[in-house]
Amino acid sequence: MRAVITGPLPDIAARFSRYLTSLWSHEALVIFTCECTGRPRKVAGNREIVDRVTIDELDALKKSTDLGTVVDGVHILGGARRPLWVVRDATDTLLVIVPKRVQPEPPDPDLIVALFGFVATSIRQQVAQASPDYLAESRAASSERARTIAELTEIHDATLSSILGTLRSNDLDDRRSRITASETASAALIALRSAGDADRALSEEAVTTAFARLQGELRPLLRHCEVEIDYVEPPADGRPLPGEIAHAARAMVRTIVLAFGAQPVLARLRVAWDCDGDNVLLEVRDQGSGAIDGSALTRQLAGRLHTLRGRVDIESIAGWGSRVSLVIPLDPPAARPDEHLLSTLNPRELEVLAHLTVGKRNKAIASELGISESTVKFHVASVLQKLDVTNRGEAGAIGIRAGISPDATMVTGARR
């Protein structure tokens, strides 16, 4: 299980599937969590099944399964009725397994619930921590999904609107067939448009909801501190936040509040959020000694800010207090041709690529990362293969275009 929960979050379903194979043979496995805004479905196994799984199917399975239970039965998945094992964890994360016909017996309920509990808890913790690696992958996936949905919606909207226009024409005589076809097309059009609403519900948070969750997350951090906190809520009509932005904003504010709490004297905190339409604006200020360590805090925030193209401003005045303000753009940058290739790199490979962008050789990289030259050579070969390039210079150029540098990955590497 350590191997399952350790590694890139997008591949956790594949790792869990490999682990379960020795216990229960299965054709496909799906993990469904609303917390991962970029990829709420994590899949492994038969592509004929997992590529056809819809959010509506998973929602229906979730509603029919009680928390902490295992359901064994025939249900619709991937557009067909199949025997399934369904587990709904206490975190409201769903596991769906398509067993092989040669193994009709369901798994031990207590064991599968316990094993999936490790996985579901790991997913929740990784999302809550909002690491730079998670944010980059989630933002790329969110952008790609939004683009695909927009294209499909435009195509089907035009098609169904054309059908409606034809059927409503007075040139057609069969009134009943026109009415029936018109109602069918109208229902399909409504369902199509609601699909976009459902996707937004999964991938966005109202700015007021995100701020309310922040308040709940800060209470345990300040439980033992005699400090007065003023919360300045964002406007109720503010633009919704992409899920990865909401997670990152809360994670960074928690980091800032902990930095303020490390001061010898802290009497009062003010936490404010706002939204100007293009950015979410965060500010934390105090009435204290003004002894906050701005350099250390900047390093702690650097990884997430770089990933989201945000910026930070820290001011401290001795005897008066400190102020930290963050500006995070709500829209991702224009997609880069190499973006999908970069998402295939694991955290260590990204670190190696960062050093390739500044022309470092294997020996220097090994010294910097504290690993052997042979290990660096292995990682470099893997980077070249995944980026589909033939030499270090081409790989470095891709990293430079993506804004990857040793400084940007320093915080992530130190944390590991």
Name the residue ranges covered by the structural domains of the chain.
2-129, 132-203, 207-329, 339-415
**Domain 2-129 grouped into CATH 3.30.450:** yes
Q: How many CB atoms lie within 10 A of CB 124?
A: 17
Mind listing the pLDDT tens digit for each residue in 134-148? Answer: 666 666 666 656 655
Count of CB atoms within 10 A of residue 98's CB?
20
What is the structure's pLDDT at 28? 93
Homologous superfamily (CATH) of 207-329 is Histidine kinase-like ATPase, C-terminal domain (3.30.565.10)
What values do phi and psi take at 263, rounded to 5?
-70, 155
Contact 245, 308 (CB under 8 A): yes
Cα torsion through 344, 348, 352, 357, rounded to 10: 60
* Average pLDDT rounded to a whole number, residues 96-106: 76
Rg over alpha carbons for the chain, rounded to the nearest Å, is 25
Which secondary-structure segment (H or E) carries 75? strand 69-77
Distance CA 87, CA 106 (A): 11
Six token digits for residue 375: 């290990």
Dihedral sign, CA of 194, 195, 196, 202? Answer: positive
Cα–Cα distances (Å) from 312 to 38, 45, 320, 321, 327, in that order, read 25, 43, 20, 17, 7
Measured CA to CA, the distance from residue 334 to residue 337 in angstroms comes to: 10
Instruction: Provide the pLDDT for residue 411.
Output: 37
At residue 159, the pLDDT reads 64
Going by C-alpha positions, the residue among 280, 297, 303 that lies closest to residue 354 is: 303
Q: What is the DSSP letter of 10?
A: G
Write the DSSP assignment of 78-114 as a string of letters. Answer: TTEEEEEEEEE-TTS-EEEEEE-TT--SPPPHHHHHH
pLDDT value for 107 = 78
More confident residue, 303 or 181: 303
Which pLDDT does position 24 carry in this prediction? 87
Question: At residue 91, does pLDDT exceed 50?
Answer: yes
416 pLDDT tier (thresholds 50, 70, 90)? very low
pLDDT band at 104 (very low <50, low <70, confident <90, very high): low
Kindly indicate whether the domain formed by 339-415 is annotated with CATH number 3.20.20.300. no
Question: Given the structure tokens 């490979």, which residue do they identify?
Answer: 349
- Residues β-bridged to residue 317: 321
The percentage of the chain sitting over the pLDDT mark of 90, rounded to a whole number, equals 24
What distance in Å separates the CA atoms of residue 241 and residue 210, rounded to the nearest whole number? 8
Residue 276 has a pLDDT of: 86
Question: In residues, how long is the chain?
Answer: 416
- Distance, in Å, from the CA atom of 319 to the CA atom of 138, rounded to the nearest integer, reads 41
- Using pLDDT thresholds of 50, 70 and 90, give the confidence band for residue 339: low
Alpha-carbon span 137 to 38, nearest angstrom:
7
What are the structure tokens assigned to 23, written together? Answer: 């216990």
Question: Comparing 41 with 183, which gets the higher pLDDT?
Answer: 41
Q: What SS3 class is residue 384?
A: helix
Token output for 234: 């964002």
Task: Look at residue 410 in the predicted model and tell me its pLDDT.
Answer: 43
**How does residue 338 score in pLDDT terms, banded at 50, 70 and 90?**
low
